[in-house]
Every structure is written in structure tokens, then in C-alpha cells.
Structure 1
Amino acid sequence: MRTKNESLADARREQILAAAKRVFRARGFHAARMEEICKEAALSPGSMYRHFSSKESIIDELVEREFDCYLALVRHYLGSAEGLAAFLRFDLELLGVLLQRTQDDISIDAWAELARNPRLMQRMAERDAQLRLEVMRALEKAQQRGLIRAEISNLSGLANVLSALVSGLQVDFHLNPVLDQAATAAAAAELLGGYLKP
């Protein structure tokens, strides 16, 4: 059981991370300053630095959390018969979940900024490789259970295509939010179902 002080520390970290996301969305990673995050979080610099030693340490935490969220989505939608059936239906609800992740995360623009930092880019590449490996393993298990076509031989390539499909949809709807979600979901269902279903 967590102590009162530990719970308060957790709450403060969440407060700082939420404020940082708002500041990063508005100003970008490079332009954002710790003072702005303190102000947005309504905390003193001393309180801030008790939880995060630098702006980069905040960014590290946000990147880790984003990839953890995407891993959870992979495990949910590809890790069970029920989840895979929902993925292959690819209805408006699923599209909404994927698009909500884009709204909740540190934004498409922010990811582009992160790519300019060699250390963070290396970490992102490592986590992305882990994510794709998780997708491939889930597809292998689904294939072994007869949930997707046995004839699909290049599951690594398929993992890349599924990753590109999801991230591409997120970028498209971020740039043009008035795109027809119902038509997009229906086409994705036809594409995925037609290719993957046994």
C-alpha cells in the first residue's frame, strides 16, 4: 500500500506531466522552458525539480508512457481472439480509440521535434522496434491459433504495414480532422478483413 507522501508525489508528477504536455503542444519542445511548465502546473521551481531534474527528464517520461500506451493497445487488440476480432472489424469505435491516442499524446508535431535529438531518437527507435516485435509475436500467435491466414509468410513486414496504417491514419486525421471517419473505418475493415481473415 502506498503511503500518503508517495501518493502525493505521484499526483504531483502527473500534474507536472499534464502541464508539460500542454506547454509542449503550444510551444514545442525546444522553445518550452521549465519556468513555463512550472507556471502551467501551478508549482514552484523547487517543487518541480524535486520530481524532474530537467526538461529532458520530463520528455523521457512522456516518451516512455506513450510507447507503454501503444504496447497496451497492441496487446489488447492483437493478443486475444476477442481483441483481434474487434481489430478486424475496424469500426468507428476502434478508429476513435486510435485517434484519441493522438489527441492525448504529445502530438505529431512534438514527435517530429523529438526526432532532432539524437539521444531521444535512439531511444524512440529502440521502443519502436520493441513495439513492432510485439506486433509480430502477436500475429504469430494469432496465426498459430488459426485466427489469421496461415498463408501469410512475412509477419515482420505485416507488422510494419500495420504500424504504418495506424500511424498514417493518426497523422491524416490530425492534419485534416474533417475526413470521413465512417468511410475510413469501413475501408480499413474491408482491407484488414479481406487480407487477414482465414
Structure 2
Amino acid sequence: MKRSSRNYAEGESPRERIVNAARRLFGSKGFYATTTAELAEEASVSVGQIYRLFTDKDDVILAIVEENVRVRLAEMHSIFDAVERRELAMFEAIKAIAANSLHNEDGSLFYEILAEACRNPTVAERFEKQTAFYRDGIRRLAALARPDVPAAELEAYGDVMMACFIGLGHRTAMSPPVDPEATSHSTACLMMRALGLAELESGRVQTQP
């Protein structure tokens, strides 16, 4: 079998190589246009090894989704923990999450995954479960920002914030590059206003009367 000339990180497992190769191929060529043989070559593994590690290509897509959610949740909860320790102001927390959302190298891949979820109930079910973890993380941010509001209003804040962050994450796939610093700052300003919070000069925030 022909091997890819791509260099892999030291200690990278065959499963990791397959998932990373799938990110590149599914994002550039599309899910259906990528053959298992091409995936095997790109990952420097055999076709048989792919099927020993994954049930099918759908299973590879789900591994990508799960890895994306795991990384994003770790980033978000690190920020939330800093807010709870009063080491980070809410404005800076929102700005940091917005900036993280803009650094999305899988923008086009997201639409491939979403399209497959519309066609495949199994992918849709697991995709929704992973999305729920992300949604719970955003609800935590909303609760930190506005612990004083009723549950129903808090849920609405969470929905709006999630839509905003997801939209930022896939802007790179649909429009020209943006300035991450300026865009994340503007987003944080608008979201603080929407949350009914005012930024203080010290960097701390308070609820508006």
C-alpha cells in the first residue's frame, strides 16, 4: 500500500492519524467523495485497520465531533473556572470564548457533518448528544453572567449566546478572514449589552439597574 508522505506527531496513534486525515479529506473533498482507500493512504494505515478501529466512515465523523466538543468544553470550563475564582472578568471571558470560536479550522467540515446528520439518524442522534454538552457549557456561562434571572430567561440567554458562538465559529467558512481581536471585542461588547451587563473601567462587570 502506498504511504502518505505527511509527517505525524511522535506517538500519534493510528486512530488519531485516521481522525486527523479525515478532517483534511472530508473538509476539502467532502464525505462521500472521499474513499476509504484514500483515507487509509492519507493516514498511513491499511483499510483493514480503519475497519478494526471504526465501524464505518460515519463512525469516523462522530469521532471528529466528539473530539471537537471535548476540546471546546475543556477550553470553556477553564475560562469559567477563572471567572468563578474572580481571576477573570465576565467581559474578558466572553471575549475569550468568541476568539476561540473564530479559530475554527473545520468550518467547511462542520457543514459536511451537519449534512450527514440530516441523512443518517444514527449520526444525528450522537451529534445531538455532543451538541448538548456544548449547550450545557454555554448555559453555565449564562448562569455565571446572570445568576439573578429566572430559569426560563436564563435558558433564553443561553440559546442566544450559543447561536452567536456557533455562528462565529463557522464565519470563516462563509466569508473573508476577519480580525479576531477586533471581532471578539465587538462581540463581547454586544453580548454584555444583551445580557444587561455594563463593563467597568476596572475590567469588572455589574448588573445594570
Specify the TM-score bucket, using the shorter chain as the normaliser. 0.7 to 0.9
SS at match of 1:192: helix
| Change beyond 3 A, Cα 1:175–1:64 | same
Q: Call closer, same or farther: CA 1:50–1:160 in 2, change over 3 Å.
A: same
- State the Cα deviation string for residues 88-109 of structure 1 (Å, max 9, x = none): 4x16xx5442222x20577232
Which SS does the other structure have where 1:68 is aligned? helix
Q: Deviations over 1:93-136 (max 9, x none)?
A: x5442222x20577232233233222211221222223222332
> What is the aligned counterpart of 2:93 among 87, 96, 102?
87
User: Deviation string for 1:26-67 (max 9, x for gaps)?
Assistant: 221222221110111122223333322321221221121122
The more displaced of 162-171 and 126-135 is 126-135
Q: Is this contact kept in 1: 2:69–2:133, CA < 8 A?
A: no
Structure 1 match to 2:170: 171
**Counterpart-to-counterpart distance in 1, 2:37 and 2:129:** 31
Q: Report whether the alignment pairs 1:18 with 2:15.
A: no
CA contact (8 A) 2:22 2:60 kept: yes
Aligned partners of 1:84, 1:105: CA distance in 2, in Å? 29
Tell me, yes or no, if the aligned pair for 2:99 and 2:181 is still in contact at 8 Å.
Answer: no
Q: 2:54·2:60 contact (CA, 8 Å) conserved in 1? A: yes
Instruction: Find runs of 4+ consecutive structure 1 residues off by over 4 angstroms.
Output: none
Q: What CA distance in whole angstroms lies between the structure 1 residues aligned with 2:82 and 2:115?
A: 35
Q: Distance between the aligned counterparts of 2:25 and 2:154, measured in 1?
A: 39
Structure number with the higher helix fraction is: 1
- In the alignment, structure 1 segments of 5+ residues that lack a partner are 1-6, 143-147
Pick closer, same or farther for the CA change 1:54–1:184 going to 2, 3 Å: same
Which deviates more, 181-190 or 162-171?
A: 181-190
Secondary structure of the residue aligned to 1:107 is helix
CA gap of 1:167–1:83, structure 2 versus 1, over 3 A, is farther
Q: Give the drift of 1:19.
A: 1.0
Provide the TM-score with structure 1 as the length reference: 0.76
Query: Are the equivalent residues in 1 in contact too, given 2:18–2:40 (CA < 8 A)?
Result: yes
The change in CA–CA distance for 1:61 and 1:151 in structure 2 (over 3 A counts) is same
Distance 2:41 2:65 in 1: 22
- 8 Å contact from structure 1 (residues 24, 110) kept in 2: yes
| Aligned counterparts, 1:1-198, within 5 A | 11-81=13-83, 82=87, 85=90, 86-88=92-94, 90=95, 95-100=98-103, 102-104=104-106, 107-116=109-118, 117-140=120-143, 142=144, 148-153=145-150, 154-194=153-193, 195-196=196-197, 197-198=205-206
Shift of 1:20: 1.3
Distance, in Å, in 1 between the alignment partners of 2:41 and 2:22 is: 10
Q: Percent of counterpart pairs with the same letter?
A: 26
Aligned residue pairs: how many?
181
Superposed CA RMSD: 2.7
Structure 2, unmatched stretches of 5+, are 1-9, 198-204
